[in-house]
Structure 1
Amino acid sequence: MIANIKPRFLRFPGGNFVGGTLLRNAFRWKDTVGPWEERPGHFNDAWNYWTDDGLGYFEFLQLSEDLGALPIWVFNNGMSNLGREKASNVSVFVQEALDGIEFAIGDSSSKWGSIRAAMRHLKPFDLRYVAVGNEECYSSEKSAYKENYLKFYNAIKRYYPGIRVISNCDGSVDQLDHPTDLYDFHVKSLVQLCDLFSNVHHFDHTSRSGPKVFVSEYAVYREDAGTGSLLAALGEAGFLIGLERNSDVVEMVCYAPLFVNVHDRSWSPSAIVFNSYQTYGTPSYWLQHFFSNASGAMLLNATLLTNSSTSILASAIAWRNSVDGRCFLKVKVVNFGSIQVKMKISVYGLGSNLINSSRSIKTILTSNNVMDENSFKEPSKVVPRSSPLENAGKNMEVVVSPHSITSYDLMLDNECPGLV
């Protein structure tokens, strides 16, 4: 199910899991490598369960490689969810981070690279990004985080200048006062779905001269989300439209959490639900499919003309199918309202390019009730449905269903605008 959304990266091992409620229960990567039966395991007090760490640092790197995704390692920065290590001891965590990078990308003759090689991965992993902690800069320990962060940043840049370092201080409104390659932005603390939908413009005025944004955790949760509702997915769709429009400053984005065991819903919802033998995706999971080919696409100028409410959002991209090389114009429309909307879609600037109506398709994610969810009994209750777009052309009239996201994929017979 992860592979089917074509991830470009995998952020691991998680959020609060990284720091632990108490620092002694933080994820320490050195305890998670080597023979599985020799790993001590640890108590994940952030989410209240014991983990044997069979899914450890090495396995996360291997999973990223198997998925064809770049690994983004989030390491502990000497702080837990309830406090920080003494400043004199932070150097221990700095060295641990440097050793972890060596394990991933060091030569097989190096100290930690040799341990990776002994685990039958002779070649280095393609680790390019590391994140210094998780959400500490959002807390009352902001100044302590910055003090620790600089120790990690300076050490990593000294020994591994090619590694891109991510700060979790928000730079979307005010300029950051410390160096970083990217900054982490989370938007999951909003209870009502309308809040996230209205965040479509959040990055419109963000500085274009500073570091770029990594939106590593976004989701609608609590009342509006249930255990994974269509309503939550539509709110997220509006937010993602805004990120796509601001892709010159937003470099990466991912939903979180990714998985939840149905018998332990400490947080709800998550994208993929499982038990010991079944799995299904929430509407938020299926929403990812509408944006999975946006990476490497060309954002097109799109103007939405309407005298109605602000419940309609839209974007347009040109993308090339990696399988057959075919080029498509994808127009995505989110209708957050409760009534259907008639629209006219007009395409300009194609020159001699023709739209192939027989190969164009329409895909829609909607349901009869906006609070509908998927389940083990009905895993496909709220999933994207595709059909031929028979009236595809440079000018076409469409009817957008209420409470829906719709993708109009117009196949071009000739070249892809702006793509090589």
Structure 2
Amino acid sequence: MKGLLSTLLFASVAIHPAWSVTLSVSTAGGNASSPLLYGYMFEDINYSGDGGIHGQVLKDNGFQAGTAATLNAYAAVGGTTLSIDTANPLTTAITRTLKVANPSANSGTVGFANKGYNGVPVIAGTYTTSFWVKGTYSGNVAVSLAASNGTIYNTVTIKVQSTSKQFTEFGATLPVTYSSTALDNVWQVTYDAALATDSSLNFALPQLFPATFKGRSNGLRADVVNFLGDIGGTFLRWPGGNNLEGNTIATRWAWNETIGPVQNRPGHLGTWTYYNTDALGLLEYLYWTQDMGIKNVMAVWAGHALNGDVVTGAALDPYVDDILNELEFILGDTSTQYGALRASYGQVEPFTIDFIEIGNEENLAGGCASYASRFTQIYNAIHAAYPDITIIASTTDTACLPSTLPAGVWTDIHYYLQPNQFVKLFNEWDNWSRDWPIFVGEYASTSDNSGAKTYWSDLIGSCSEAVYMIGLERNSDIVKMASFAPLLEHFDLAQWSPDLFGLDSSAGSLTGSTSYYVQKLFASNKGSTIKAVTSDSAFGPVYWVASATDAGTYYVKLANYGTTTQSVTVKVPGASFGSASLILLSGNPTTSNYPHSVSITPTTTSVSGSASAGYTVSLPQYAVAVLVLKK
């Protein structure tokens, strides 16, 4: 973009008290815009994996917290006594199971309930459920979704024949015709105590899945993925984030412990205060991107944990080998050791990896001094084996990078800022070297302009993000990808806010923040070529960028980072359009969207005018909009 557009689009970030702006969009020339500009960043934070996008909704189902495991997610039914049993492991990975001791009378309907992640979602549709049981029992077992007051939404009866010698798995489908907004629903198992020859039964790894995306076994929640997909992003960066690094080397995300049947996954202590079951593992991430039709940006561990421990030189070699093994598992054919292992899990065809990021935020937590050598060691190994994969360094800080980056390497940069700070960065990339590609891997407005923490995005913060994103799009010849972070939170279990969208355990709780709708406006309305724009006003308080598709649709993105309504007229001399519409996000600047109380969403209206005379639109304070012009 430097040369053709930098003069025409030079940015001043001062906020001028303009009342009207006229823009003239050129139909000639322009610079190619990155087709991958807007995407997603995910790590298991805020119970966004377990308890969020992953479909399994029962909490602590494998007691993978080890000695820290509790029965807080469980409740006795019919007078049973519940305990965590280490003497009857399911597998070497799931070493704790639920012992359900019958009441002394040894009669009546008894069992246990699981409360989920602050409630079990009850959503109309067909669930799948399963559990393992050990102990002598012959008879029916009822599996139900129920309210805390005992009301049963639906029940399925499973014929169980189990012994005390080994665990046996049982499962069924559970149709549900009712959706509940309650936050205290439970999943429960009940049976006839008199039919249990032993005085107790052991249950292991209970599971409950609502409908999964594409019907995948151990898959993602279909409703959550569909809500995410509505944004229109093009890539997913995974598995982190801090959760990749681990608080210690031992608690880093280890790919080979997240594959295979879930009963063989031990889980690990995540970075964000809770244990991850790792039911959302390597294959699940790959199916996630494959099923959504988006690109993988896979991060690999780079020898650095958040406590400052670092592995370098020869000591790093085994971890480099581990990365190559992971890539062989993903990309290798069935003649290779790890490609054959992948095939044994049901995925014969290799996946595709286009991007690998080496580490995460290696400029922080004591990682900077050794990152150049660690990056080079890992880069050389990956590039030699897979020269077509684009490698991304996890920082743009030159103090942490090799003195000369290998050709084709991108660098990552992260911003968590106040709104005014984002606006000041509007023209950050205007004069950046066109030989240095950028990935803005994480960004969000996380506090107001006084510095007070923002719990949930409001329109002022989201508008400032839109201003910054307009700057990214204007420079999207060199800014290749960008992703808001964090992606998702379970509302009452979050460690970090604000997040792009969230949910709780009630039906209909999926809630997009104001930033969610900004992301959707920008990702879903984007041309392939950035067009030059001339104006009768400098940037501020109105900011803009124009793009066009090969088919001749023009998108003009607008943001009014100011307290007064602005009138904007857009002309496209020499063009002709059959329709014009404005997609507008506006409202009370300090209002946020909350579960079951969403007040700020985009509206679409038709706009009169012509390409030569112009299309005039009104932008309220802190509004974000896209003018769509179609032939």
Fold similarity call, TM over 0.5: yes
Q: Is structure 2 residue 295 aligned with structure 1 residue 63?
A: no
| Structure with greater proportional helix content | 1
Selected match of 1:288 from 519, 528, 550 = 519
Q: Is structure 2 residue 297 aligned with structure 1 residue 72?
A: yes
Deviation digits for residues 376-396 of structure 1 (CA, Å, limit 9, x no counterpart):
1213x1111111123353323
Structure 1 unaligned segments of length 5 or more: list them. 321-325, 413-420
**What is the CA distance between 1:259 and its match in structure 2?**
0.8
Q: 1:179: which partner in 2?
A: 405
Selected match of 1:297 from 495, 509, 528 = 528
Q: Residue 364 of structure 1 aligns to a residue in which SS?
A: strand
Measure, in 1, the Cα distance between the counterparts of 2:315 and 2:475: 40
Task: Please tell me the residue identity of whatever aligns with 1:311.
Answer: P
**What is the CA distance between 1:147 and its match in structure 2?**
1.4
Selected match of 2:276 from 51, 56, 61 = 51
Q: 1:241: which partner in 2?
A: 470
CA distance 1:176–1:296, change in 2 (3 Å) = farther
Q: 2:580: which partner in 1?
A: 360
Q: 2:499: which partner in 1?
A: 270
Selected match of 1:137 from 358, 363, 367 = 363
**What is the CA distance between 1:171 and its match in structure 2?**
6.0
Q: Residue 288 of structure 1 aligns to a residue in which SS?
A: helix
Q: State whether residues 294 and 317 of structure 1, in contact with CA within 8 Å, keep that contact through their aligned partners in structure 2.
A: no
1:219-234 mapped onto 2 (5 Å cutoff): 219-223=444-448, 225-234=454-463
Q: State whether residues 366 and 403 of structure 1, in contact with CA within 8 Å, keep that contact through their aligned partners in structure 2.
A: yes
Q: What's the TM-score once normalised by structure 1's chain length?
A: 0.89
Deviation digits for residues 194-216 of structure 1 (CA, Å, limit 9, x no counterpart):
10122111111111123x11111
Q: 1:317: which partner in 2?
A: 547
Determine what percentage of the aligned residue pairs are the same residue. Answer: 27
CA distance 1:176–1:94, change in 2 (3 Å) = closer
Deviation digits for residues 160-219 of structure 1 (CA, Å, limit 9, x no counterpart):
11111110231699996243421111112x2x2110122111111111123x11111011
**What is the CA distance between 1:229 and its match in structure 2?**
1.2
Deviation digits for residues 297-341 of structure 1 (CA, Å, limit 9, x no counterpart):
11100123226x721101111126xxxxx6421111100101011
**Equivalent residues, number:** 395
1:303-382 mapped onto 2 (5 Å cutoff): 303-306=534-537, 310-319=540-549, 327-350=552-575, 354-356=576-578, 359-367=579-587, 369-379=588-598, 381-382=599-600
CA RMSD of aligned residues (A): 2.0
**What is the CA distance between 1:109 and its match in structure 2?**
2.4
Q: Residue 34 of structure 1 aligns to a residue in which SS?
A: coil
CA distance 1:223–1:374, change in 2 (3 Å) = same
Task: Please tell me the residue identity of whatever aligns with 2:518.
Answer: L
Instruction: Between the two structures, name the one with larger relative contact order (CA 8 Å, sep ≥ 6).
Output: 2
Deviation digits for residues 4-30 of structure 1 (CA, Å, limit 9, x no counterpart):
112211000121001012221111111
Measure, in 2, the Cα distance between the counterparts of 1:19 and 1:392: 54
Measure, in 1, the Cα distance between the counterparts of 2:548 and 2:398: 27
Task: Please tell me the residue identity of whatever aligns with 2:530.
Answer: L
Q: 1:403: which partner in 2?
A: 622
Task: Please tell me the residue identity of whatever aligns with 1:214.
Answer: F
Q: 1:384: which partner in 2?
A: 602
Task: Please tell me the residue identity of whatever aligns with 2:488.
Answer: F
Deviation digits for residues 89-131 of structure 1 (CA, Å, limit 9, x no counterpart):
2112111111111111111221111122122221111111111
Q: What's the TM-score once normalised by structure 2's chain length?
A: 0.60
Q: Is structure 2 residue 431 aligned with structure 1 residue 201?
A: no
Q: State whether residues 198 and 238 of structure 1, in contact with CA within 8 Å, keep that contact through their aligned partners in structure 2.
A: no
